[in-house]
Amino acid sequence: MARMIQTIVCVLLGATSLAIAQQSIPVTDDEVFQQVQKQFAEAYNRKDVQAMAALFTENGLRVTPSGIFNGRDAIRRNMQEAIEMGVHDYTVQRSVSRREGQFILNAGEWKAKVGDQQYQGYYSAILTTEDGQPKILEESVTVAAPGR
C-alpha cells in the first residue's frame, strides 16, 4: 500500500508542472507558466502519458518519494503506473514562478484522487526551452504531511 501511494504521488506531480505539445511560447514568462501548467493538467486528466512525458527534456529528471526517474522514457513509464492505478482529478496551483537566467523556476501544490481518497503535496520544477518549447529539465515532488 505504501509503495502504491508513493507511486501515485510520483506521477501526480509530474508534474504538476506542465504539458505541452506544439504551441509556441507566449510573450511573457507568466503566460508560459500558465500555459505549461494548464497543458499538463489537461493531458493528465485525459490520461495522455505521451503528452505528459513530452513536457520533459530528453534527459529530464524526476525526483519523487518512490524513486528517481532519469530520462523521458523512465518518466513516461512512471506516469503510466499512476494512470493505471486510477489517479484522477489532478489539479495544480503554482505559488512561485520566476526566471533565473535561462531557467524558469516553478513551485506550488498539487492535488489528485485515487478512488474517493484525496492526496496532495508540493512540487518544484526547473524549466528550460528545447526546440523552442518550454520543457521540464528537473522536477521534485513531495507528499504533504498529514494534517496539512
- Sorted by where each begins, the domain ranges of the chain are 2-143
Mean per-residue pLDDT for 95-114? Answer: 90
What does the pLDDT look like over 5-51, one tens digit per residue? 444 444 444 444 443 323 334 446 667 766 777 788 899 899 999 99
104 near 127, Cβ under 8 Å? yes
DSSP string, 63-132: EETTEEEESHHHHHHHHHHHHHTTEEEEEEEEEEEEEETTEEEEEEEEEEEETTEEEEEEEEEEEEEETT
- Confidence grade of residue 69 (pLDDT, cut at 50, 70, 90): very high
Correct CATH for 2-143 of 3.10.450.50, 3.90.1150.10, 1.10.3720.10, 3.30.70.360: 3.10.450.50
Per-residue cell: 40: 499538463
What pLDDT is recorded for position 11?
47
Average pLDDT score, the chain:
80
Per-residue cell: 59: 534527459
Give the whole-angstrom CA distance, residue 19 versus residue 16: 9
